[in-house]
Chains A and B, each alone.
Chain A
Amino acid sequence: MCLAIPARVIEISGEDQARIDIVGVQKDISTALIDNVAVGDYLIVHVGHAIGRIDPDEAEKTLAYLAQMSEEDARALAAASM
Chain B
Amino acid sequence: MKYIDEFRDGKLARALARTIAREVRPGKSYRLMEFCGGHTHAISRYGLEDLLPEQVRMIHGPGCPVCVLPIGRTDSAIELALKPGVTLCTYADTLRVPASDRLSLFKAKAQGADVRMVYSSSDALRIAQEEPGREIVFFAIGFETTTPPTAVVIKQAAALGLTNFSVFCNHVLTPPAMVHLMELSAAGGVDSVEIDGFVGPSHVSTIIGSRPYEDFADHYRKPVVIAGFEPLDVMQSILMLVRQINDGRHEVENQFIRAVTRDGNQKAQRLTDEVFELRANFDWRGLGEVPDSALKIRDEYALFDAERRFGIEYRKVPDPKACECAAILRGQKHPSDCKVFGNACTPDQPIGSCMVSSEGACAAYFTYGRFRSIKRT
On A, residues with C-beta under 8 Å from B are 1-6, 8, 22-23, 30, 32-35, 42, 44, 46-49, 51-56, 58-59, 61-63, 65-67, 69-70, 72-74, 76-77
Contact = CB atoms under 8 A, between A and B. Distances in A.
Contacts of B357: 1
B52 interface: no
A33 B149 contact: yes
Give the interface residue-count category, chain B: 35 or more
Contact of A51 (B38, B123, B207, B229): B207
A73 B303 CA distance: 60
B44 to A, nearest CB: 14
A73 B12 CA distance: 10
Interface in B197-216: 201-204, 206-207
Given A6-B2, A59-B258, A33 B359 contact: no
Contacts of B206: 4, 44, 51-52
A49 B66 contact: no
The residue among A1, A35, A63 with the most chain B CB atoms within 10 A of its own CB is A1
A10 to B, nearest CB: 13
Given A1-B359, A44-B259, A49-B122, A33 B2 contact: no
A42 B2 contact: yes
B152 interface: yes
| List of 3 A-B pairs having minimum Cβ-Cβ separation, nearest first | A48-B120, A59-B258, A73-B15
Given A33-B271, A51-B207, A2 B38 contact: yes
Contacts of A5: 1, 4
Interface of B: 1-4, 6-7, 9, 11-12, 15-16, 18-19, 22, 36-38, 63-66, 91, 93, 119-123, 141-143, 145-146, 148-149, 152, 201-204, 206-207, 229, 232-233, 236, 239, 255, 257-260, 265, 267-268, 271, 357, 359
Contact of B267 (A6, A35, A56, A63): A35
Contacts of B7: 62
7 contacts: A2-B202, A33-B267, A47-B146, A54-B3, A59-B258, A67-B12, A72-B19
A17 to B, nearest CB: 10
A33 B144 CA distance: 13
A59 B4 CA distance: 11
Contact of B229 (A3, A34, A58, A74): A3
A39 to B, nearest CB: 15
A62 B143 contact: no
Given A1-B37, A1-B66, A6-B1, A48 B121 contact: yes
A32 B202 CA distance: 20
A59 B258 CA distance: 5
B143 A73 contact: no
A74 B15 contact: yes
B174 to A, nearest CB: 10
A4 B206 CA distance: 11
B123 A46 contact: no
B11 to A, nearest CB: 7
B18 A48 contact: no
Given A52-B260, A73-B16, 15 more contacts: A2-B142, A2-B203, A8-B2, A30-B120, A33-B152, A35-B267, A47-B120, A48-B122, A49-B148, A49-B149, A52-B203, A52-B265, A69-B12, A69-B16, A73-B18
Contacts of A46: 145-146, 149, 203
Contacts of A67: 12
Contacts of B265: 33-34, 51-52
B91 A47 contact: yes
A32 B152 contact: yes
Nearest to A65: B236
Contacts of B3: 6, 42, 54, 59
B143 A1 contact: yes
A8 B1 CA distance: 10
Given A6-B4, A73-B18, A48 B258 contact: no
Contacts of A72: 19
Contact of A1 (B9, B120, B142): B142
A1 B93 contact: yes
